[in-house]
Structure 1
Amino acid sequence: MTYWDPIPTLRAMPGEPLPLWRGALVDRDWSLPAPDGWEQRDWRSVPGPLYAANTDTCLTGRQCAPDLVMYEDEYGSEFLYRQPRTQEEVHRFICAADCEPFGGYGGDGDLHWTPELVRDWWRERGRVREWAMVQGWGAGEEAAWALGGNDAGARAYVAHIDRDLADYLRGYLFRLQEGRAPRPGETLPGL
């Protein structure tokens, strides 16, 4: 799947019930900058509009969004290893962001990523992939519970890099260059 824009869904959610939490309302527009800013984003976060910067260490993100969030180390700071591709995934992202007490997530990545920066990240993906390949924190039963299957997240991240991330990034490059998501059949830029 190529790029899907999560921002309209994020902007429509404040004041709406969060489907994952009975009775809870979304109280923030998660398309805004992270409190600590873009400059503090985690280097492992995949390019896209959403990112994590200076998150807490409560190990909550994977409980809500195991298909999007990983922990950077055994202390549990979070980052996005995959951007949301559906409305349901945006809801899981909001759950993860809302659970994170520092409010360390942001959604203004489109204002900062450039085609050149995306291509630079892609060229350096081996560094990210190598980091993910050596994650083994889930070795013991207690660690596996505490880290919410971060080892499974690392495997999913490597699979994402190896399988479908290039197509997503080519679609995201189109979005950055054209100001809209690509339509079916449109030629996508190269990485």
Structure 2
Amino acid sequence: MSETATEAVVSAACLELYSGYGWDGDDHWGAGTHPGWGSNGSAQYQAHYHDAAQGHLDFVAYIDDGLQAYLRGYTFSLDQRRPPRRRCQP
């Protein structure tokens, strides 16, 4: 990587797009700053927990049925430099 490219990457990493979150997030987030997070009585926590659980279930279903076919097609594309032909479903 050239010196110019390295400098560009370092400069991009130094941008504080989230008011310091990237560099010192632990100083801005925690139980003291958001006391309602993590409590079982919080509706926001319950909704987040439900969404996360559903996401995990969706991901497991994708691993069980779909990931293998995707990876097979992806590696074919890397090897052949073209997408695989779609098979007709009977």
**TM-score of the superposition, structure 1-length normalised?**
0.23
Q: Which has the higher helix share?
A: 2
Q: Which gives a bigger RCO, structure 1 or 2 (Cα 8 Å, sep 6+)?
A: 1
Computing the radius of gyration over CA atoms, which structure comes out larger, 1 or 2?
A: 2
Between structures 1 and 2, the one with greater strand share: 1
Report the TM-score when normalising by structure 2.
0.44
